[in-house]
Chains A and B, each alone.
Chain A
Amino acid sequence: MAGRIAPVQFRKPHSPIHGLDVGKVATSLRKPFQISSTYRWLAVAMLLLGLFVSMEWQAPVARGPVTPDYPRELSKDTINRLESEQKELKSTIADRRAQLAAVQKDAATQKTALADLNTQLESQRVLAGMVPLVGQGVQVVLDDSNVKSIPVGEDASHYIVHDYDIRDVVSTLWQSGAEAIAVGDERIVASTSVYCVGSTILVNDTRMSPPYKIIAIGPPTMEEAMNSPSRLQSMKSVARQYGVQFKVTSAKELRVPAYSGSFSDRYAKPGNAQ
């Protein structure tokens, strides 16, 4: 029975309206609309249901302008994935940058070391004769004898300049303070040999021919030694006797060429270990 559900009730007026029994009027008004309370409740419930269903129906309408059609949950996942990628990439960049900084620092140190080595190399090259040099010095010219004819029975070899003559001049120049020496276009270096093959003189394995011009950059003591009677005695006596020519002149500016050959180091290795 509908008695369990409280009926909708109009408040019964306490004070009766003048001459009117409201209760009776209300009841009488209700009369044509009299429905059982259960159905009343059902009606209300259905009304509300309809209302909410229709509201829900409308809900999925898109808000704002039309966009790429990502389902919302999928978008969230994608963004999370991209963000974790981003984090990883940033970390990788940080690592690489640290690596690069370390390597660049090394290189800068190397650069200084390189520059230092280069300076050393330059001075060693100058020492080795691989750089042309200029300076004051002395010029010595040796030439074969200019006698008109060689007397019969005389050894013709007395009348020519020999390799040992050139060697002796070079040796004496070194001893008297020469800093750089050249014979013709050949720079005298550590491996230089002045050698005779037949009647040909070779310097640095290069053929020379008279007159043999020897130049040396160095102090005035070189010229003194060249002119001193106590130096190069045998050569000077041969010169006097056979007319082999020996001329010494000082010079303000001489140019000694760089060595144009090679140095072998196939066997000699730095250090003592083998």
Chain B
Amino acid sequence: MRGLASQITLTLVCLLLGATLVVQFRTQGNIVKSIMVDSTTEQATIMNGLVASNAALRKEIGSLDTQLAQFQSGSQASDMQTLVNDLNHTKIVNGSIEVSGPGIELVLTGTLAPEELQDVINELRNAGAEAIVLNGQRVVVNSAVHQDAAGVSLNGVSIRPPYDFEAIGDPDTLQTAVDRKGGLVPMLVANHPGLQMALQKQDKVVAPIFERKMKFLYAKPAT
């Protein structure tokens, strides 16, 4: 009996001892590792560093997003669009671009003096025509119907009756202006026997581009 009890006790003690030894060595291992890589101080330093660095990264993303938004908000794009619109608008005025739109067509068949044809152009301008065409030629600011050796000319190009005027604008306004009693065209018809007049509203009038560009040899922008 005595022998067995002591044997058991001894076994248990050795077990405990062994277990303790194992734990001891494991702890030893951990201590070595933590001494080698990071103590809790160093771990905290790393963590704080990462937190701060990530915050800075987020801030940078925010800044980049703002910059991108500025570009994509369309401020540049709308500058472009405004310029394009202005340019087209001015080109229409100058006859530097082909345009189309509703309007009227007035055909005068008969003999007319250059000044009378110029007067019809004046009448159409007064009625708000945005673009005028005479016998297929775009009428621009310095267009002048005149007499030369070849007869009647517009922009240096000879024209002959019938005189086909086309104008882009509000068809009703244009028609009323041309038609009106006491207006130029009825007066012309009254003064020129045999002169025929045909006036029609149009859904679409095409005004071609005026090719020749005016050269400024004498005029310079005022400072």
Residues of A participating in the B interface, judged by any CB pair closer than 8 Å: 1, 38-39, 41-42, 45-46, 48-49, 52-53, 55-56, 59, 63-65, 67-70, 72, 75-76, 78-79, 82-83, 85-86, 89-90, 92-93, 96-97, 99-100, 103-104, 106-107, 110, 113-114, 117-118, 120-121, 124-137, 164, 167-168, 171-172, 174-175, 178-180, 188-195, 217-219, 255-256, 263-274
B1-52 contacts to A, CB under 8 A, are: 3, 6-7, 9-10, 13-14, 16-17, 20-21, 23-24, 27, 31, 34-35, 39-41, 43-44, 46-47, 50-51
Mind listing 21 A-B residue pairs with CB under 8 Å?
Answer: A64-B41, A70-B40, A70-B43, A75-B47, A93-B60, A99-B68, A100-B68, A103-B72, A124-B94, A129-B141, A132-B221, A136-B218, A172-B144, A174-B143, A175-B146, A179-B214, A191-B93, A193-B125, A263-B130, A268-B101, A272-B98
B87 to A194, Cβ gap below 8 A? no
Contact B50 A86 (CB under 8 A): yes
Q: Which residue of the partner chain, among B13, B57, B100, B206, contacts A45 with CB atoms under 8 Å?
A: B13
Write the residues of chain B forming the contact surface with A, with a CB cutoff of 8 angstroms.
Answer: 3, 6-7, 9-10, 13-14, 16-17, 20-21, 23-24, 27, 31, 34-35, 39-41, 43-44, 46-47, 50-51, 53-54, 57-58, 60-61, 64-65, 67-68, 71-72, 76-77, 79-80, 83-84, 86-103, 115, 118-119, 122-123, 125-126, 128-131, 140-146, 168-170, 203-204, 206-207, 213-222
Given A86-B57, A89-B54, A267:B220 Cβ within 8 A: no
Report A-chain residues with C-beta under 8 Å of the C-beta of B207. Answer: 268
Known A52-B24, A128-B90; contact A72-B40, beta-carbon cutoff 8 A: yes
Residues of B within 8 A of A85 (CB): 50, 54
Give bound CA distance, A120 to B100, whole Å.
Answer: 22
Minimal Cβ-Cβ distance residue in B for A97: B64
